[in-house]
Structure 1
Amino acid sequence: MKTPILIAALFFSGMTFAQQKKSDSVKTQNIEAVTLTKQVFKKQSDRFVYDVAASPVAKGNTTFDILKQTPLLSSTDDKTLKIAGKNNALIYINGRKSNMDADSLVQFLKNTPAENIQKIEVITVPGSEFQVESSDGIINIVLKKKMSDGLNGNMRMSNSQNKYNSSNASFSANYRKDKLGISANLNGGENINPQSYILRNGNALSSNESVGNIDDPNKNLGGYLNIDYQLTEKSNLGLSWNSWANKSYNSRVNLFNTVRSFDNKTNSYFENYTKSQNKEDARSYNNSVNLNYELKTDSLGSKLNINAAYLNYKRFQFTDNRTIISDINRNDIRIGTQIFQDLPQIINNFSGTVDYIQKLKNDFTVSVGGNYNKTKTNNDTKNNTLDYVYDTNGQLINVENTSAPNHFVYNENIYGVYLTLEKKFSDKFSGKIGARYEMTNSVGTSDNAAPEYRRIEQNYNNLLPYLTFNYAINDKNNISYAFSSRMRRPSFWEINPVRNILTEDNYTQNNPFVKASSTYNQELTYMYKNSYFLILNHSYFKDQITQVPLQRDILKPRLDDMGNPVKDENGNIIMDPHKQLRYIRTNFGDKQEMSAMLGIQKTFFKQYLTLNFNAGIQHNINNGSLSVDPTSGDVFPTYENKVRSTSIVITSNNTIRLDKKKTWFLGVNYFFVDKQQIELGMLKNLMSLDLSLKKNWNDWTFAVNVNDVLRTNVVEIEDYQTNGNYNYIRSDQYRRNMTVSITYNFGNQKVKKVRDIEGASDAIKSRTR
């Protein structure tokens, strides 16, 4: 079951985590007693390059494992990747954005062996030629080039155990014959995502507490088919199809709720008890087709690239939310309310891109291009609320049915053009300057909303400049600077005006009035001997998009031990204040993030130990205030987040080679993130100790990984307002787990990989979830 509160805490917090790395500062190959040495991690122009080819660290791991251990990259939830100083990381393959949505991409990376990776490029500040949002960075996975014809592939199986058991398997194959190349992948698995929650909110007069568990079963099946054909020596035609399906039936929320209210007459507190028993059945499908044409126009590397793509995304979600009146001993008395929600979402997108790169003889490059995206989302939501009415003897006398349908249709057109100029002035100095101009036209219509909300139209144009330079002072010292401006459009689910109910008085509310936000990024990097680095980063977010917790008192009948309304001496029902908490998706002021990170990566004891240690400091400045629900106009006590915080981040990733033949490896990884202020309040510190043991044997690799050994990677957020309101969230996702995996490589390992083609709709896919 999707949990928007935790999503807000983790994925929209703008947290910066230190990089987690496991790499050799030098890598050697012995060829007839001659030792060759080359750099593994270095700075090139606008990107960092991590060379993982021929490294035993990669063998037997998944692509996701390698990415987590790449310098400047990290993952604290084992689901999302972050670049130091960035909110999100977009995955590119061979210079083209991966043709998958967010969920399927994670599963693909976790089920794809890493043996075929040549290097990983980390672009912390992408240029104008990239379609990225906000402060997103780019991870470009460069695959090995294999020249001979034939067939090869990988098979991988893994099994994990935390609170529940899960399993995954994948099969991939690559075939090349003359001008034709075909690659295919099929992967799937099943798991139950467990979570335990403690939610508290209120003030001195009234409060809510919800304690319980969420279990979310998932079955996944996905894959891709890529066909690439060389038309001539200078032109290629490619066709890509990606498919992903998820089934999440019988997801359960079981929370015990305590409502505490102050009675002025008795000068004491009165408590009511309920249970929230929610069941969800959901399934989603994502299919995309992309046609690519590439033409090389000269011998210097100039080329024309044209893409056309179609994306269809469907999600069907049905929820049954029940509020059960209970007693202090958690015994059920009777059902109070029942809310049925039918929440379908259908997204159709057509996209096209044209890019042209002109290489000139004087190390001057001109890049120009444009893109067009047309998207329609259809959300035909239905809500039915059943209120069960009882007599004084507890007998059911009536069921009141309230229906609230909402058909929301959203149409969006995006036009974009860019120009980038890049010049290598000397062997030491190079620079790039560019700009991107984007025009967005959107219209949202709702058949059942109030008249003022039935049509929401937004049009905005943005000029987004970009600048970077890189200066190699000498062989040991390198310095670079980059500036970029970006915008972040709301995801399609964020503007779909539905409520996701957690308890009777606690829910999240999406907002069709959310507008795009702007981000300005600056970064200064210094590297010494390609082993030591210092990164200074500053990001400014204007009209940031986030969740805001608004809470207020609403009056509800006081209930006796049998669940009946309590009356006073005059026969009137006593009404007590209850806290209503809404997590509203909206634009919430401005924010600044400043960070400094110092890192070292080096090998010791003849490469038996590879040490990566990083220490950083981050300073957050929040400036947001909200008192009105923008979706309804309801007035709340003001929620403010104008808190500054400074936090420390430490990461140490270590690989220990246990034998001379490089077949046994021990991994010891640790990270610590100090407490810091985010949008929902103060996020308490997080830490995790992860251990791994790996054995390489011919074409087989056996591995055991134990994550969060000390079980310290648990999210806690608390917030105290000057008006007396407080809010507390504790979420444990049982990240301590053990995974056992087996990987087998078969076939001709020299098969040339099929071209990976960036889909024209890729910029849209990240907004589907």
Structure 2
Amino acid sequence: MKTQIFIAALFLSGFTFAQEKKSDSVKTQKIEEVILKKQVFKKQSDRFVYDVAASPVTKGNTTFDLLRQTPLLSTTDDKTLKIVGKNNALIYINGRKTNMDAESVTQFLKNTPAENIQKIEVITVPGSEFQVESSDGIINIILKKKMSDGTSGNMRMSNTQNKYNSSSASFTANYRKDKLGISANLSGGENIQAQSYILRNGTNLVKNESTGDIDDPNKNLGGYLNFDYQLNDKSNLALSWNTWANKSYGSTVELLNNLNIYNKDGSLSKTDLTRSSNIENARNYNNSVNLNYELKTDSLGSKLNLNAAYLIYKRFQNSQNRTLVHDTSGSFTQLRQNVIQDLPQIVNNFSSTVDYIKKFKNDFTASVGGNFNTTKTDNDTKNFFNYYDENGKFNNTKPDLNHFIYDEQIYGAYITLEKKFSDKFSGKVGTRYEITRSLGTSEIPNKEMQEFERNYNNLLPYVSLNYTINDKNNISYAFSSRMRRPSFWELNPVKNILTQDNYTQNNPFVKASSTYNQELTYMFKNSYFLILNHSYFKDVITQVPLQRDIVRDGITYRQLAYIRTNFGDKQEMSAMLGMNKTFFNQYLTTNFNIGVQHNINNGTLNTDPTSGQVFDTYINNRKSTSILIQTNNTIRLDKKKTWFLGVNYFFVDKQQIELGMLKNLSSLDVSLKKNWNDWTFALNLSDVLRTNIVEIEDYQADGSYNYVRNDQFRRGGTFSITYNFGNQKVKKVRNIEGASDDIKSRTR
């Protein structure tokens, strides 16, 4: 609940220079032969290709380290990978989403040797065959194929120190014998996610300020088990199981709230000092199983791929939110309000997909496919608001009960046609048609049951063109349209309490939003590139900060509610110059990006759609222009290629987002790595200058204001030890896309 309050509101609202990653699963594709001439970075029709086999930074790295050095990619927290200019980056392996949750895929990438990678593809505008939402981009990892039978694996241990100390460990094993391949992973860890907040809102007559800390302890355990069996030369059968569990007991929020009320002449009339003391226990479980069948239908690479999957996600959360005032001794022990919350969520999903790729001899490829998802979520929310008089004695209880059930069916079909007309010109066109049928029911005691029906029919076209002018110059254009469905937790009409007058409200009335992306790319000498991008978002899904005056016991308070809803439209336009080069006989490898982005926001709201309560009108029709600078550098310190120094830096200028003006962000990260036989020792220092702190401020024409400062203590150090054992040339088990992957992402 705590992290969700403001951070999700910020980064899910369209902050395109800082995104989150998701995860999911895979099908094999025929690996192309290594190109002998060293074109490390090049542009193909619909993607950028980083030829890892020709790169000097591969040896001794993990796949995660390698991705950090890939052009257009970066990480600011050593957990999530980002594509410049995209809201989200999805991890694919051999053309299919990884069938793992976010934590597991991070461990997978950190424990897979980079020597096993053939190339990395960055798809900034995915085609119709990809099941992605909004303006998501794709990182597609192509594994090497010439590997032998045997056993391999690795063990990794790491320890991190920022505000608190945390540790993690993982074990991964791969086995292949003839037609059978098995891979398994077990990983876990403990950490305390710490945050501090400064929250201010109000008008010139009523001003609130809340300051304090959040400590969220977590214990994680999970992994995967994959079986892949080659039935014959043309067909494979695979079974995958993924699991992840999180336990977060004893999470605390301690905020000191200061309310100042002023007279019209500016003099102070009254001060009200309270403390919000929250404690929360939560645990969640995510289990999925996927069955995959693949059939090669000819020698050209045509194939049929079938998937069926079942996913169950359970989250159980209860919390106690106490508002305390001074007792006679001056201590914060006297109750004013005590809110008891029980917020469970259960998601069940069955999914299936079918894909057929037909390749022809004249460099023409046709792909057709479809998918079906049926999902049911069950949220039986129980809130009890307990109120106390001025002496701290119990006064009354107000229950707030809501049993919300959501049923959804999604039917999808696509077709793409790709043609290489000549050595210089190629093109790809496609479309995806999606039908969504959904029904939410809300049962509240002593009230008539409410129904929320949402039906969509969406035709989503796609086109890309690529022209190679000569050996040094290449130009390409791509257009795509996508939709973003709300996450299941966004639809659950639950209220999360932070302070007595500060809360978030989810919304079953939220509808899907639409996104239209255009991108023009120019590349010179396979090292320098220019990307021009335009994205139009319709019915943006975000949290909107609404304020109003309320009177309680004769005192005027200022209430602040973050309402989840559709909030108008916005446009994002960007221009990005980039470079990928090696210098000094490959002792220095550098990626450098500099760009400018222009945001146009257009949204207005004054009513909570879940309750009809009227607030002061919040208007965001502002524009902003901001600069991005990003550089990732790897320095080889010795001739034997055993010592490496990494220096990464990013800077994002202030920009207007839905919640207000986001102030500039930056981070300097430094790493030192030593390879010794099968061992790797690494030290990573993040946010060395302690500049990666979120600040948002907003001022309305009516005089109301809102300010958020959130420090997640990103400055810290991580020391890790990795040991690789066995035959490192073992062929990896095919990573299979789970049919439920797009559903799984909406549970988070």
Relative to the length of structure 1, the TM-score reads: 0.92
CA distance in 2, matches of 1:19, 1:389: 46
Q: 1:328 to 1:427 in 2, by over 3 A?
A: farther
CA distance in 1, matches of 2:619, 2:266: 33
Aligned ranges 1:503-518 → 2 under 5 Å: 503-518=499-514
Report Cα offsets for 1:29-61 as digits up to 9, x if no partner: xxxxxx975122111221111233485634554
The alpha-carbon deviation at position 267 of structure 1 amounts to 4.8
CA contact (8 A) 1:198 1:729 kept: yes
Aligned ranges 1:220-299 → 2 under 5 Å: 220-263=220-263, 267-299=267-299
In the alignment, is residue 467 of structure 1 matched against residue 463 of structure 2?
yes
In the alignment, is residue 4 of structure 1 matched against residue 24 of structure 2?
no
Tell me which moved more, 729-738 or 605-614.
Answer: 605-614
Tell me which moved more, 38-47 or 616-625.
Answer: 38-47
Matched AA of 2:214: I
> What residue number does 1:674 align with?
653
Tell me which moved more, 623-632 or 602-611.
Answer: 602-611
Q: 1:692 to 1:19 in 2, by over 3 A?
A: farther
Tell me which moved more, 594-603 or 52-61.
Answer: 52-61
CA contact (8 A) 1:113 1:743 kept: no
In the alignment, is residue 592 of structure 1 matched against residue 571 of structure 2?
yes
CA distance in 2, matches of 1:38, 1:529: 12
Matched AA of 1:409: I
Matched AA of 2:206: S
Matched AA of 1:405: L
In the alignment, is residue 407 of structure 1 matched against residue 418 of structure 2?
no
Find 1:547's aligned residue among 522, 534, 543: 543
In the alignment, is residue 417 of structure 1 matched against residue 413 of structure 2?
yes
In the alignment, is residue 49 of structure 1 matched against residue 49 of structure 2?
yes
> What residue number does 1:501 align with?
497
CA contact (8 A) 1:288 1:312 kept: yes
Matched AA of 2:200: R
CA distance in 2, matches of 1:119, 1:327: 66
CA distance in 2, matches of 1:615, 1:18: 15
The alpha-carbon deviation at position 114 of structure 1 amounts to 4.1
Q: 1:270 to 1:36 in 2, by over 3 A?
A: same
Aligned ranges 1:635-650 → 2 under 5 Å: 635-650=614-629
Q: 1:330 to 1:367 in 2, by over 3 A?
A: farther
> What residue number does 1:32 align with?
none
The alpha-carbon deviation at position 541 of structure 1 amounts to 0.1
Report Cα offsets for 1:642-673 as digits up to 9, x if no partner: 01000000112211111111111111111110
> What residue number does 1:742 align with?
721
Q: Matched residue of 2:127: which SS?
A: coil
Q: Matched residue of 2:389: which SS?
A: strand
CA distance in 1, matches of 2:517, 2:641: 42
CA contact (8 A) 1:111 1:168 kept: no
> What residue number does 2:692 align with?
713
CA distance in 2, matches of 1:451, 1:327: 39
CA contact (8 A) 2:13 2:543 kept: no
Q: Matched residue of 1:128: which SS?
A: coil
> What residue number does 1:691 align with?
670
Matched AA of 2:479: F
In the alignment, is residue 305 of structure 1 matched against residue 305 of structure 2?
yes
Q: Matched residue of 2:233: which SS?
A: coil
Aligned length: 734
CA distance in 2, matches of 1:498, 1:166: 32
CA distance in 1, matches of 2:327, 2:548: 25
> What residue number does 1:184 align with?
184
CA distance in 1, matches of 2:574, 2:161: 36
CA distance in 2, matches of 1:110, 1:319: 35
Find 2:443's aligned residue among 439, 443, 447: 447
In the alignment, is residue 323 of structure 1 matched against residue 337 of structure 2?
no
Q: Matched residue of 1:38: which SS?
A: coil
In the alignment, is residue 482 of structure 1 matched against residue 478 of structure 2?
yes
> What residue number does 2:746 align with?
767
The alpha-carbon deviation at position 147 of structure 1 amounts to 2.7
Matched AA of 2:622: V
Tell me which moved more, 362-371 or 62-71.
Answer: 62-71
CA distance in 2, matches of 1:197, 1:325: 20
5+ unaligned residues in a row in structure 2: which ranges? Answer: 21-34
Matched AA of 1:556: R
Matched AA of 2:462: Y
CA contact (8 A) 2:56 2:586 kept: no
CA distance in 2, matches of 1:62, 1:512: 42
Q: CA RMSD of the aligned region, Å?
A: 2.1
CA distance in 2, matches of 1:475, 1:187: 46
Relative to the length of structure 2, the TM-score reads: 0.95
Q: Matched residue of 1:213: which SS?
A: strand
Q: Matched residue of 2:732: which SS?
A: coil
Matched AA of 1:415: Y
Q: Matched residue of 2:585: which SS?
A: coil
The alpha-carbon deviation at position 327 of structure 1 amounts to 8.2
Report Cα offsets for 1:189-241 as digits up to 9, x if no partner: 11111101000000101011100000111111111011000111000000000
Tell me which moved more, 607-616 or 148-157.
Answer: 607-616
CA contact (8 A) 2:11 2:19 kept: no
Q: Matched residue of 1:288: which SS?
A: strand
Report Cα offsets for 1:123-174 as digits up to 9, x if no partner: 1000001111011111111222243111011111111100101111111111
The alpha-carbon deviation at position 104 of structure 1 amounts to 4.2
The alpha-carbon deviation at position 98 of structure 1 amounts to 1.3
Aligned ranges 1:89-108 → 2 under 5 Å: 89-108=89-108
CA distance in 2, matches of 1:450, 1:682: 43
Aligned ranges 1:494-643 → 2 under 5 Å: 494-557=490-553, 575-643=554-622
Tell me which moved more, 59-68 or 404-413.
Answer: 59-68
> What residue number does 1:339 align with?
339
Q: 1:682 to 1:79 in 2, by over 3 A?
A: farther
Matched AA of 2:202: G
The alpha-carbon deviation at position 745 of structure 1 amounts to 0.9
CA contact (8 A) 2:412 2:432 kept: yes
Q: 1:685 to 1:629 in 2, by over 3 A?
A: same
Q: 1:686 to 1:234 in 2, by over 3 A?
A: same
CA distance in 1, matches of 2:588, 2:19: 19
The alpha-carbon deviation at position 474 of structure 1 amounts to 1.1
CA distance in 1, matches of 2:467, 2:496: 51
Report Cα offsets for 1:216-275 as digits up to 9, x if no partner: 111111110110001110000000000000011101100000011124699533110111
> What residue number does 1:732 align with?
711
> What residue number does 1:29 align with?
none
> What residue number does 1:28 align with?
none
CA contact (8 A) 2:181 2:229 kept: yes
Tell me which moved more, 53-62 or 226-235.
Answer: 53-62
Q: Matched residue of 2:5: which SS?
A: helix
CA distance in 1, matches of 2:677, 2:732: 22
Aligned ranges 1:361-380 → 2 under 5 Å: 361-380=361-380
Report Cα offsets for 1:59-101 as digits up to 9, x if no partner: 5544433333321123334443321221111111111111123
The alpha-carbon deviation at position 109 of structure 1 amounts to 3.9
> What residue number does 1:564 align with?
none
> What residue number does 1:658 align with?
637
The alpha-carbon deviation at position 427 of structure 1 amounts to 1.1
CA distance in 2, matches of 1:382, 1:579: 26
CA contact (8 A) 1:18 1:614 kept: no
Q: Matched residue of 1:64: which SS?
A: helix
Identity of aligned residues (%): 75
